[in-house]
């Protein structure tokens, strides 16, 4: 487990207090290194934002999210960056995955949060960008979840991607079958990788990357 500061910051204390106040239990089974890709699943409601935000504060980690550079205009863009946004250029030859991997390999990088289904509605599959970002950068994948039945939110497990996409997805699927339960279970997306050859046009949400 990653080392935490012995003395919590005011923001960590606030995060823990708000979680207790709203009836959520934080789960902090974090990777043993400061940089990783964190999956956010299931994401079926806008209400997920609050326990996730409070947990992020409580963790004391520098969480980041990814958005296309057009979402970062002058002045407003500075605020977006302050809020953890990472602007990514769609036209860059490195692509979304390569640019985020480059960020993760840079000194002082933080944790990147990805919503692999890319929508609050039921999607036919998971987009695999999060997997290849972690694989290229050589960082762990943290299995972040929210469970409205047990009122738990946080990271339950983590692993290093092996390069065997199917095998690693089996591990991910087994975890979320036991842990994740969104506010709207009917909107859970099946945990299967995007089929090869799929011609989906890339998109971005504030919660992470859509390939």
pLDDT at 199: 47
Question: pLDDT tens digits, residue range 134-187?
Answer: 999 999 999 999 999 999 999 999 999 999 999 999 999 999 999 989 999 898
Highest mean pLDDT among 113-127, 177-191, 197-211: 177-191
Please give the share of the chain, as a percent, with pLDDT higher than 90: 52
Structure tokens at 197: 């050859």
- Domain ranges in the chain are 10-210
> What burial letters (b/e) apply to 14-35, b meaning 16+ CB within 10 Å?
ebbebbeeeebebbeebbeeeb
Report the pLDDT value the prediction gives residue 197, as an integer from 0 to 100.
Answer: 64
Token look-up 């500061």 returns: 5
As beta bridge partners, residue 41 has 145
SS (H, E, C) 14-56: HHHHHHHHCCCEEEECCCCCCCCEEEEECCCCHHHHHHHHHHH
- Residue 209: is its pLDDT beyond 50? no
pTM to 2 decimals? 0.82
Taking only the tens place, the pLDDT of each residue in 9-53 is 999 999 999 999 999 999 999 999 889 999 999 989 989 989 988
């Amino acid at each position: 487990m990653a080392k935490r500061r012995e003395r919590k910051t005011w923001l960590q204390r606030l995060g823990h207090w708000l979680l207790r106040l709203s009836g959520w239990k934080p789960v902090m089974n974090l990777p043993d290194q400061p940089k990783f890709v964190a999956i956010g699943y299931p994401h079926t409601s806008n209400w997920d934002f609050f326990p996730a935000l409070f947990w992020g504060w409580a963790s004391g980690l520098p969480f980041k999210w990814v958005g296309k550079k057009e979402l970062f205009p002058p002045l407003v863009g500075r605020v977006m960056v302050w809020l953890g946004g990472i602007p990514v250029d769609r036209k860059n030859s490195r692509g979304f995955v390569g640019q985020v991997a480059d960020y993760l390999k840079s000194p002082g990088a933080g944790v990147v949060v990805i919503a692999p289904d890319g929508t609050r509605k039921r999607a036919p599959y998971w987009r695999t960008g999060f997997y290849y970002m972690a694989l290229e950068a050589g960082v762990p994948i943290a299995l972040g979840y929210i469970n409205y039945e047990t009122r738990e939110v946080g990271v339950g497990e983590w692993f290093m991607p092996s390069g065997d996409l199917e095998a690693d997805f089996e591990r991910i699927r087994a975890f979320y079958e036991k842990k994740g339960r969104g506010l709207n279970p009917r909107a859970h997306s099946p945990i299967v990788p995007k089929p090869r050859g799929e011609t989906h046009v890339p998109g971005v949400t504030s919660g992470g990357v859509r390939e």
